[in-house]
Amino acid sequence: EVQLVESGGGLVQPGGSLRLSCAASGFTFSSFSMSWVRQAPGKGLEWVGNINEGGSEKYSGDSVRGRFTISRDNAKNSLDLQMNSLRAEDTAIYYCVRGRWNYVYWGQGTVVTVSS
């Protein structure tokens, strides 16, 4: 069974940093691109970015480019999202998702709140 479990969410002050992690199991992690999608409270879905199987190619959305970095450790079956210079508008549920774009498998999400 495919499982994606996010962790690392919490409350952080504006301008601060946070690192999210996603533990993957039930599939060959190194064979799949991975992505992050977020959803602000009461709002729609927003694509954060993705990373290819080997970690050499990364793409990110306009609103996070230059502040957020996606990385992966295939030996540990782990996906990370390093978030710097956080803003109030980054407050959201962050989902770890398997795949480059057609997202069948989603994690349960981790909540990030940016507030002073």
Partner 1 sequence: QSVLTQPPSASGTPGQRVTISCSGSSSNIGSNTVNWYQQLPGTAPKLLIYNTNQRPSGVPDRFSGSKSGTSASLAISGLQSEDEADYYCAAWDDSLNGRGVFGGGTKLTVL
Q: How far is the CB of 83 from partner 1 (least distance, A)?
A: 18
Rounded (5°) CA angle 9-111-73: 45
Residue 111 C-beta: closest distance to partner 1, Å: 12
Give whichever of 75 and 101 is closer to partner 1, judged by the CB atom: 101
Positions touching partner 1 (CB under 8 A) are 35, 37, 44-47, 50, 59-62, 95, 101-104, 106-109
Provide, rounded to whole angstroms, the least separation between the CB of residue 57 and partner 1: 10
CB of 61 to partner 1, least distance (A): 6
Residue 68 or 107 with smaller CB distance to partner 1 = 107
Q: Residue 6 or 80: which CB sits closer to partner 1?
A: 6
Beta strands in the chain (DSSP E): 3-7, 10-12, 18-25, 34-39, 45-51, 58-60, 68-73, 78-83, 92-98, 110-114
Q: Which amino acid is at 65?
A: R
- In sequence order, what are the residues at sequence separation of 6 or more whose Cβ sits closer than 8 angstroms to the Cβ of residue 116? 13, 14
